[in-house]
Structure 1
Amino acid sequence: MSAATTKPKQVKKGGITDLVAGGTAGLFEALCCHPLDTVKVRMQLYRKSGQKPPGFIRTGINIVEKEAFLSLYKGLGAVVIGIVPKMALRFSSYEFFRSLLYKPDGTISTGSTFIAGVGAGITEAVLVVNPMEVVKIRLQAQHHSMADPLDIPKYRNAPHAAYTIVREEGFKTLYRGVSLTAARQATNQGVNFTVYSKIRERLQEYHGTTDLPAWQTSCIGLISGALGPLSNAPLDTIKTRLQKTTFASNESGMVRIVKIGKQLVKEEGMGALYKGITPRIMRVAPGQAVTFTVYEFMKRVLSGEAQLPGLSSKKLG
């Protein structure tokens, strides 16, 4: 198996392509997979009470029964608002870092592909993901019924939550846990892009074409998306606990991170660091399948190599 790959042909108007294709892919991912993310966050925030913690199915059922079905989409506004710049940054920064790491002969090693993915993960984490997740987690953590108009939550929607957080706790609160978010996104995208690109290259070689069927792209995304969460689950659990807190602290971020980690292990055992891993994999893996499939398709549409469903038949008519 070769460790290096040939430099791909450049797509015209790459920046616009990354923005539109990435944003569209991210929107589809959010709409399809957000309920699983809400269940994951609730599981990570569950405090030990002498009873066995509910599993991901029971947690989801509890949310629907007590707070209505639409409660599974709490925080979706924050995700949708941030998804276009997030995906645009992810794919464009990945291609940028990748372009810096090509060898003189036009090839790139597996290690360099991983580094490009790490760079993309850190970039999106700092510029978009962390503020978006602070707002999202605050919304998801609220136990109120969306079916009861008299049950008014503290945070009404994503813009209101962001405004309230900044007003009451300061702008820097939006960057609480940014080091953990950056570490999580770096490992996620490092693994994600490396596994995706390498499997895709092997399939392209096998089929003798650069265009793969959508189902194969989805399968590759599913595999690559599942590996990231397994590598950084403890970071994600600690990050969720840290970003949910509403009180100010004079302690440094690293001190609080260590303190939360120690408290989790002491009170609930090592397994607590992996709370929500099942819904997270169930959310991230199919999310990446959707993202890469829609992204690759939209790139072909924008480059004129494919058409949106229905357009060709309309033209023929």
Structure 2
Amino acid sequence: MMQWQWESATAGAVAGFATVVTLHPLDIVRTRFQVSDGHTRLPKYKNTPHALYTIARSEQGLRGLYAGLFPAILGSSLSWGLYFLFYNNAKVRHQQRVGGELGPGLHLLSAAEAGALVSVFTNPVWLVKTRLQLQPPGHGPHRPYKGFTDALRRIIQDEGWWALYKGLGPGLLLVSHGALQFMAYEESRKIGIAFRLKNSNKDELHEEDPLSSVDYLLLGASSKLFAVFFTYPFQVIRSRVQQRPSTEEATYYKNSWVALKSTLRHEGVRGLYKGIFPNLLRVVPSSSITFLVYEKVKKVLM
């Protein structure tokens, strides 16, 4: 009988928590650039440094730069923990079925299964995080949310339970992000191990894992870059759909398809990649640290 690999879940949760706090301001900048379609009430930002400076100056310094931090920590820790849990158990299940090493296809399938489950569990958390990050300074058309629980309660009260799953469609499409990243990570890791064993003195290497911390940092970064290139437009559409609905806004995206058509019509393909620079500044080092912490914590727990 297959056992749940709690070590993987714990390592993933610790890794997610370890990265989100220091890089959260870039997440806010990315989200605000993503929804910048010319009709939002948010200020106009020239670039990432200008956005960071403007938010800090006009929104109470660190308080503005860390808006939505609690759901970000909760969502990141929960997502990584569940992802590694579901992913490793999927791998074990497929290994038992095929009776050997998994290839790229089964690594992709394992990651896709894990990502779909995580999306369903965490969509309400990411919705609240987006809403808190997009609250404009000053008085907007709505009374601002006071925090995570207040936002959750008022979303259900004002929009119904179904509103917690706005953006789930592009969220499920974003499963391909994790799937592509984990496939690239696993395959690159196997190549790296084989290369190290072939070209290094085996006595100087760890028997089970010849890769160094630098290797894991590079593997995490390169796999993230690979996945971001193909899937970033899904993140833009999800952020736009998850905005708080307002009759005073010129643009209201009823669903993902409307958001996609409107973005392409008015902003072109370039609009689907808005905010990608601050996103890369955030997710590339974040992914590097996450995979490094994950591998180290897992070794301690095993």
Q: TM class, shorter-chain normalised?
A: 0.7 to 0.9
Displacement of 1:33: 1.9
Residue 24 in structure 1 maps to residue 14 in structure 2:
yes
Q: Is the 8 A contact 2:35 2:240 kept in 1?
A: yes
Equivalence for 2:128:
135
Equivalence for 1:37:
27
**Counterpart of 2:232 in structure 1: which amino acid?**
A
SS in 2 for 1:275: coil
Residue ranges of structure 2 left out of the alignment (5+ in a row): 198-206, 248-252
SS in 1 for 2:144: coil
Displacement of 1:139: 0.3
If asked which structure has higher relative contact order (CA below 8 Å, sep 6+), I would say: 2
Equivalence for 1:188:
177
Residue 154 in structure 1 maps to residue 144 in structure 2:
yes
Cα distance between partner residues in 2 of 1:70 and 1:53: 18
SS in 2 for 1:274: coil
**Counterpart of 1:226 in structure 2: which amino acid?**
L
Q: Which runs of 4+ in 1 moved over 6 A?
A: none
SS in 2 for 1:246: coil
Note the 1:262-301 alignment, pairs <5 A: 262-301=261-300
Cα distance between partner residues in 2 of 1:48 and 1:154: 22
Equivalence for 1:251:
none
Cα distance between partner residues in 2 of 1:43 and 1:109: 38
**Counterpart of 2:55 in structure 1: which amino acid?**
I
Among candidates 42, 50, 63, match of residue 70 of structure 1: 63
Cα distance between partner residues in 2 of 1:269 and 1:85: 34
**Counterpart of 1:108 in structure 2: which amino acid?**
L
1:96-139 per-residue CA deviation (whole Å, 9 max, x = no partner) reads 222232364412111111111111111111111x1111000100
SS in 1 for 2:102: strand
Equivalence for 1:217:
216
C-alpha distance 108-56 of structure 1, shift in aligned 2 (>3 A): same
Equivalence for 2:232:
233
Cα distance between partner residues in 2 of 1:13 and 1:36: 38
Among candidates 5, 16, 41, match of residue 15 of structure 1: 5
Q: Is the 8 A contact 1:118 1:190 kept in 2?
A: yes
Equivalence for 2:53:
61
Cα distance between partner residues in 1 of 2:22 and 2:45: 26
**Counterpart of 2:121 in structure 1: which amino acid?**
L
Cα distance between partner residues in 2 of 1:260 and 1:121: 23
Note the 1:94-113 alignment, pairs <5 A: 94-102=87-95, 104-113=98-107
Residue 201 in structure 1 maps to residue 198 in structure 2:
no
Residue 123 in structure 1 maps to residue 117 in structure 2:
yes
SS in 2 for 1:200: helix
1:148-203 per-residue CA deviation (whole Å, 9 max, x = no partner) reads xxxx961111122111211211111110110111111x111111111111111122
CA RMSD after TM alignment: 2.4
SS in 1 for 2:146: coil
Name the count of aligned residue pairs: 278
1:203-234 per-residue CA deviation (whole Å, 9 max, x = no partner) reads 21222343221121111101111222211122
1:11-68 per-residue CA deviation (whole Å, 9 max, x = no partner) reads x97532123211110101211222111100011122327x986222222222112112
1:71-98 per-residue CA deviation (whole Å, 9 max, x = no partner) reads 1211110122233332221011111222
Cα distance between partner residues in 1 of 2:143 and 2:46: 24
Q: Is the 8 A contact 2:220 2:284 kept in 1?
A: yes
Residue 171 in structure 1 maps to residue 171 in structure 2:
no
Cα distance between partner residues in 1 of 2:112 and 2:47: 32
SS in 2 for 1:85: helix
SS in 1 for 2:272: helix
**Counterpart of 1:59 in structure 2: which amino acid?**
A
Q: Is the 8 A contact 1:139 1:157 kept in 2?
A: yes
Note the 1:241-256 alignment, pairs <5 A: 241-246=240-245, 256=255
Q: Is the 8 A contact 1:142 1:153 kept in 2?
A: no
* TM-score, with structure 2 as normaliser: 0.85
* TM-score, with structure 1 as normaliser: 0.81
Displacement of 1:255: 7.2
1:246-273 per-residue CA deviation (whole Å, 9 max, x = no partner) reads 269xxxxx97222212222222232111
